[in-house]
């Protein structure tokens, strides 16, 4: 289990990127230069908790893995109370609660989202095989945004952000996670980072957090540029996968863990 992360110096600075280097290897008394990776990883994988760390249940059936990577990163809020408990134990319990609700109440095969971030800034793997898929550049299909699960990866951020800001710990961890995902999948933050309400009629991720998305895109871009990551040009998203910007409903249910449509007729998600 990783050590408890320490908050970054401010909400716009992340310091855990590292470039890979090549070296010489001795073979049979001679030296040969190890091959240089064509696209070196410059954004280090965040310190995060795996499913084993939070004692996840096994999915009820295998999750789907697509060779085609996601084109958007969807920011959510969990629609849960804004807890003052920023501890590791609270974060791991949150992941178990989300999984139990998604499997037992919603009837899904597993946790819906691929990643979860607690108010204490603890980053956790959500759906089974989400972490291996990110590492290999494939898509672990989740259940978190109706009719677009096949092309998106979802981050659940603990809390309800209709009229308050997330903690600085959560924001630091979110920017770090967004930068990691953008490099892993070759995405431009300006195109890729969206909110749940961009696709479906919902308040999620809350008016305040949604209003922070431009700053989150800029902060993520700054992290990538500071690490020398090549950012693809804007406009690379297929129009069919672009957000549709539906109206936010006035009568959306207010209950724990509900934050809008999560599965639709166009999905293969379960």
Does residue 257 fall inside a structural domain?
no
Give the mean pLDDT per block of 10 residues along the chain (270 residues): 45 32 32 45 92 98 96 96 98 98 95 98 98 97 95 97 97 98 97 96 95 98 96 77 78 70 71
Does residue 147 fall inside a structural domain?
yes
Question: Coil, helix or strand for 172?
Answer: helix
Q: Please check whether residue 92 is in contact with residue 86, taking contact to mean a CB–CB distance below 8 angstroms.
A: no
**Other Cβ atoms closer than 10 A to 201:** 16
Does residue 227 fall inside a structural domain?
yes
Q: What is the pLDDT of residue 22?
A: 26
Does residue 210 fall inside a structural domain?
yes
Convert 2-55 into a string of H (helix), E (strand) and C (coil): CCCCCCCCCCCCCCCCCCCCCCEEEECCEEEECCCCCCCCCCCCCCEECCCCCC
- The CATH number linked to 201 is 3.40.80.10
Question: What's the domain count of the chain?
Answer: 1
Does residue 114 fall inside a structural domain?
yes
Does residue 261 fall inside a structural domain?
no
Q: Please check whether residue 231 is in contact with residue 224, taking contact to mean a CB–CB distance below 8 angstroms.
A: yes
Q: What is the pLDDT of residue 12?
A: 34
Q: What is the pLDDT of residue 240?
A: 66
pTM score, two decimals? Answer: 0.82
| Cα angle for residues 218, 224, 228 (degrees, 5° grid) | 140
Does residue 237 fall inside a structural domain?
yes
User: Could you tell me the residue range of the domain that residue 217 belongs to?
Assistant: 24-241
Q: What is the pLDDT of residue 268?
A: 72
**If we measure between CA atoms, which residue out of 82, 152, 93 comes closest to residue 122?**
93
pLDDT in tens, 15-72: 333 222 223 333 333 333 444 444 577 899 999 999 999 999 999 999 999 999 999 9
Q: Please check whether residue 31 is in contact with residue 25, taking contact to mean a CB–CB distance below 8 angstroms.
A: yes
Q: Please check whether residue 194 is in contact with residue 212, taking contact to mean a CB–CB distance below 8 angstroms.
A: no
Does residue 103 fall inside a structural domain?
yes
């Amino acid at each position: 289990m990783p050590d408890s992360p320490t908050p970054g110096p401010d909400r716009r600075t992340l310091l855990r990127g590292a470039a890979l280097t090549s070296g010489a290897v001795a073979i049979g008394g001679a030296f040969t230069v190890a091959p240089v990776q064509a696209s070196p990883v410059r954004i280090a994988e965040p310190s995060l908790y795996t499913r084993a760390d939070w004692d996840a249940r096994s999915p009820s059936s295998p999750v789907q893995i697509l060779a085609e990577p996601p084109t958007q990163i969807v920011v959510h809020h969990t629609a849960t109370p804004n807890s003052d408990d920023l501890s590791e134990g609270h974060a791991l319990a949150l992941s178990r609660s989300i999984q139990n609700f998604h499997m037992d109440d919603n009837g899904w095969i597993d946790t819906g989202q691929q990643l979860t971030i607690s108010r204490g800034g603890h980053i956790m793997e959500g759906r089974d095989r989400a972490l291996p898929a990110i590492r290999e550049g494939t898509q672990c299909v989740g259940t978190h945004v109706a009719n677009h699960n096949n092309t998106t990866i979802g981050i659940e951020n603990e809390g309800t952000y209709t009229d308050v800001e997330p903690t600085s710990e959560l924001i630091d961890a979110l920017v770090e996670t967004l930068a990691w995902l953008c490099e892993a999948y070759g995405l431009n933050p300006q195109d890729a980072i969206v909110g749940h309400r961009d696709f479906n009629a919902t308040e999620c991720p809350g008016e305040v957090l949604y209003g922070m998305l431009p700053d989150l895109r800029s902060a993520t871009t700054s992290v990538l540029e500071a690490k020398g990551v090549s950012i693809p040009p804007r406009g690379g998203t297929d129009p069919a996968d672009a957000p549709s910007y539906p109206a936010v409903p006035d009568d959306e249910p207010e209950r724990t863990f509900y934050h809008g449509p999560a599965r639709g007729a166009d999905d293969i998600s379960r």
